[in-house]
Amino acid sequence: MEIKHEKLDKKGRFFIEIENLKVAEMTYTYAGNEKIIIDHTEVKESLKGQGIGYKLVEAAVSYAREQNIKILPLCPFANAVFKKRKEYSDVLF
């Protein structure tokens, strides 16, 4: 499954589409130029348990590293992932 990234002004999202239907999405908002706030993660019920949410967070971490920005995970799911994955601490705000 391909994770796509869309950035619109101060907001953005990482998402997966299957047959033009959005099946997973993680949204964020820029807080200044050096930080994004992950505010929501959603995965369709039929895909739960397959690690899709983790892949969305991983995509955001890669993006943050590329852009040299930090992430504030306000979304409960993303926050839990950051607590489990200490290797993401370099981008944690």
For residue range 47-57, list pLDDT tens digits in order. Answer: 999 999 999 99
**In the sheet where 11-18 sits, what is the strand order?**
4-8, 11-18, 21-30, 35-43, 70-73
32 pLDDT tier (thresholds 50, 70, 90): very high
Which pTM was predicted? Answer: 0.95
Q: What single-letter amino acid sits at 31? A: A
Ranges of beta strands (E only) in the chain are 4-8, 11-18, 21-30, 35-43, 70-73
Look over the chain and give the mean of its residue pLDDT values, rounded to a whole number.
96
Q: What is the mean pLDDT of residues 17-25?
A: 95
